[in-house]
Amino acid sequence: MKDLGAVKYLLGFEVFRSKEGILLSQRKYALELIRDTSRGGAKPVATPMEQRLKFTTVEYDEVLGTKKGSQQIENEVLGTENGVFQWLIQRLPYLTHTRSDIMYVVHHLSLFLQHPKRSHLEAAMRIFKYVKKTSGQRILLRSSGYVQLEAYCDANCGSCLMARRSITGYCIKICGSLVS
């Protein structure tokens, strides 16, 4: 075995040590994603998802007979860009290890990998614009001696349009550091 010293970069994570604890960052990975998506010149946005945005499947729109005409539903369906959407969404879950702020929208969009719509692709592109603005965001794992577990949970009853199920969110912290 060979001692290479303190870890600085491991599995896409940049590791910084300080008196308060360990800082983890995926800035390099985030910037590579932005470069690979050709979103370097895109205008950054302040939030990962538009407020009150509800996603539905193409099948749901057709069955419900939405106010959109059938021509608009056909225009909404992705053809050759289907692979682009899948490529984008497959690379985002790894970024959620240090970016819990995008976790909800990444999970929600991953439900539409089989038959995405144009609105899903636009929402995925918005995530990359948001990551561009906040690429330096880090997570701190505190080194305090007192161990305290905190857990918070919230539910939004019946907000899923298609299944009428509740959407639940949670966060778990240990010593004030977000772990899940």
Residue with tokens 């539903």: 73
Q: Is residue 156 part of a domain?
A: yes
User: Could you tell me what percent of the chain has a pLDDT over 90?
Assistant: 3
Q: Position 33: which residue type?
A: L
Listed in sequence order, the DSSP H helices in the chain are 27-36, 58-64, 70-76, 82-91, 103-110, 118-133
Instruction: Assign 9 to helix, strand or coil.
Output: strand
Are residues 31 and 135 in contact, defined by beta-carbon separation less than 8 angstroms? Answer: yes
Residue 75 has pLDDT above 70, yes or no: no
Is residue 27 a contact partner of residue 136, using CB atoms and an 8 Å limit? yes
CA distance 73 to 59: 10
Q: Among 43-57, 107-121, 160-174, which is the least confidently predicted range?
A: 160-174
Q: Average the pLDDT over 14-40 and give the result.
A: 85
Tell me what the mean pLDDT of segment 6-32 comes to: 88
pLDDT (mean) for 135-142: 83
Average pLDDT in the 49-77 region?
67
- Does residue 2 lie within any of the structural domains? no
Residue 97 falls inside a structural domain: yes
Cα angle 178-88-125, degrees, rounded to a multiple of 5: 85
Rounded to two decimals, the pTM is 0.74
**Average pLDDT for residues 136-156, to the nearest whole number?**
82
Residue 1 falls inside a structural domain: no
Q: Is residue 4 part of a domain?
A: no
Are β-strands 149-156 and 13-17 bridged in parallel, bridged antiparallel, or unpaired?
unpaired
Number of domains in the chain: 1
- Is the predicted pLDDT of residue 164 greater than 80, yes or no? no
Q: Is residue 160 part of a domain?
A: yes
Residues with Cβ within 8 Å of 32's Cβ and at least 6 positions away in sequence, in order, are: none
Is residue 3 assigned to a domain? no
Greater confidence (31 vs 58) lies with 31
- Mean confidence (pLDDT) of the chain: 80
Cα dihedral 66, 72, 76, 78, rounded to 10, equals 130
**Tokens found for residue 119:** 């609105």
Q: How sure is the predictor about 67, in pLDDT bands with cuts at 50, 70 and 90?
A: low
Structure-model confidence comparison of residues 121 and 165, the more confident one: 121
| Residue 85 falls in which region: left (phi positive, over 0), alpha (psi -120 to 50) or beta | alpha
pLDDT at 151: 92
Domain coverage including residue 57: 9-178
Q: With bands split at pLDDT 50, 70 and 90, how would you rate the model's confidence at 162?
A: low
Residue 151, beta-bridge partner list: 172
